Structure 1
């Protein structure tokens, strides 16, 4: 993800199990907004704020992953 301040942000796909287990075609169906990323068919939302603080999947495991 390229941020408006010039930084590029990347995180491991393994942080997001729904995305990891999805097909490339499903991952390509992303909607990008100023708040984050959304995959309607996968019911997955990833916020820019969460990525900036190093949060991974917060849906069910209760675990926080940080870089």
Structure 2
């Protein structure tokens, strides 16, 4: 069974917040995941105002930052996919 075949990635993002080193996503199934900002250089370099201007896309299957031209999928976060440099 592949990781894509189970319930691991059927949760959607509901909320997002940052600290100095990570961003956190609250998922619809109650999980919270923390992701190193080092994985996403655009987010790491962004200021707090830029980071705060996110929106959920596809009913929470992804997160979009218009000003940063950055899109991150929940599926990608759950399987550990980092941004391509």
Q: What TM-score comes out, normalization by structure 1 length?
A: 0.81
Distance (whole Å) between structure 1 residues aligned to residue 47 and residue 77 of structure 2: 22
Q: Give the ranges of 4+ consecutive aligned residues of structure 1 lying more than 4 Å apart after TM superposition.
A: none
Question: Hey, which of these two has a bigger chunk of helix by percent?
Answer: 2
Q: String of CA shifts for 1:6-61, please: whole Å, max 9, x gaps.
A: 11111001110001111110000001231111000100000000000011112xx3
Computing the radius of gyration from Cα coordinates, the structure with the larger value is 2
Matched, 1:57 2:69: no
Question: Hey, which of these two has a bigger chunk of strand by percent?
Answer: 2
User: When the two structures are aligned, how many residues end up with a matched partner?
Assistant: 59
CA-atom RMSD in angstroms: 1.0
Q: What TM-score comes out, normalization by structure 2 length?
A: 0.65
Mind listing any 5+ residue stretches in structure 2 that lack a counterpart?
A: 1-24
Work out which of the residue numbers 68, 73, 76 in structure 2 matches 1:47.
73
